[in-house]
């Protein structure tokens, strides 16, 4: 049996650089559409990314900057409405081709498939966002390439909790030693490592400088990283486990 049997991909920041020019834009469009005078600029959004989950991020922002609104009984419903609007705007941005995959991601996925490696996704983002991104930026039928897609509210606790990775592993029916996770952030790496999964990090403008202790490797991107390179990184780590 091959040592490496499955790749488990994070989505936002890993498959594609979706936060600054995708989710952030969609949040601001939803706030404007709802007549709310919130605006998340690039720097502020980078700070808010410390909280995973769009709904959780809006609660976090309200705790810091809009305590009176947070205290209103209808705030929970407002957040749900805002998140629905935001997801609609985000999906439209993805469908318009505004969020291509990061360099080397598609090639790695094609090479892994050709090598018979099983594929999965473990993400905090909403399932409709994953479907839209795979269809628009990878291939119209590519959702079926991922045996397991764990996304959003399917688990009670989001990253850095390991829940989404545990959920995906249980459905893959594989031991952690046979899997390799791809992440972009400290929260994501904490989640995959808490689940016991060897992890390769590709950092981005929002996550450069995060604490990536425990990663097998930290790369700027996958532009020059073939599946053979990934296997070499994975196999090298076997001897030190």
Residues marked active site are found at 10, 12
**Candidate residues 104, 150, 162, 188; the one interacting with ligand XBP per rule CB under 6 A:** 188
By the rule CB under 6 A, 129 interacts with ligand XBP: yes
Pick from 212, 12, 176: nearest CA to 94: 12
By a kind-dependent CB cut-off of 5 to 8 A, residue 124 interacts, out of ligand XBP, Mg ion, none, with ligand XBP
By the rule CB under 6 A, 24 interacts with ligand XBP: no
The residues near 193 (Cβ < 8 Å, ≥ 6 apart) are 199, 214
User: How far, in Å, are 99, 136, 145, 148 from residue 16 at the CA level?
Assistant: 7, 12, 17, 19
By the rule CB under 6 A, 125 interacts with ligand XBP: yes
How far is the C-alpha of 106 from the C-alpha of 183, rounded, in Å?
15
- Using the minimum distance from each CB to ligand XBP, give the nearer residue, 10 or 203: 10
Name which of residues 135 to 154 contact ligand XBP (CB under 6 A): 152
For the chain, the distance separating the N- and C-terminal CA atoms, rounded to the nearest angstrom, is 18
Contact 5, 174 (CB under 8 A): yes
Other C-beta atoms closer than 10 Å to the C-beta of 236 total 11
**Candidate residues 30, 53, 166, 180; the one interacting with ligand XBP per rule CB under 6 A:** 53
- Using the minimum distance from each CB to ligand XBP, give the nearer residue, 56 or 229: 56
By the rule CB under 6 A, 11 interacts with ligand XBP: yes
**Contacting residues toward ligand XBP, per CB under 6 A:** 10-13, 19, 23, 52-54, 123-126, 129, 152, 159, 188
């Amino acid at each position: 049996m091959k040592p490496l049997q499955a790749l488990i991909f994070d989505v936002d920041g890993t498959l594609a650089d979706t936060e600054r020019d995708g989710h952030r834009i969609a949040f601001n469009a939803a706030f404007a559409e709802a007549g709310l005078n919130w605006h998340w600029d690039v720097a502020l959004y980078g700070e808010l990314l410390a909280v995973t989950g769009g709904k959780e991020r809006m609660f976090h922002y309200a705790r810091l900057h809009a305590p009176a609104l947070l205290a209103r009984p209808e705030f929970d419903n407002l957040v749900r409405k805002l998140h629905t609007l935001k997801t609609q705007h985000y999906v439209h941005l993805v469908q318009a081709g505004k969020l291509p995959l990061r360099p080397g991601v598609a090639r790695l996925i094609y090479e892994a498939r050709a090598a018979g490696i099983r594929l999965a996704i473990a993400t905090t983002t909403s399932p409709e966002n994953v479907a839209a991104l795979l269809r628009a930026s990878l291939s119209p039928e590519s959702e079926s390439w991922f045996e397991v897609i764990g996304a959003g509210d399917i688990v009670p606790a989001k990253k850095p909790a390991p829940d989404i990775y545990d959920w995906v592993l249980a459905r893959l029916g594989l031991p952690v030693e046979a899997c390799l996770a791809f992440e972009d952030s400290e929260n994501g790496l904490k989640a995959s490592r808490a689940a016991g999964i060897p992890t390769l990090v590709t950092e981005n403008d929002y996550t450069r400088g995060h604490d990536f202790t425990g990663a097998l490797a930290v790369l700027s991107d996958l532009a020059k990283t073939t599946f053979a390179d990934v296997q070499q990184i994975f196999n090298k780590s076997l001897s030190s486990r």
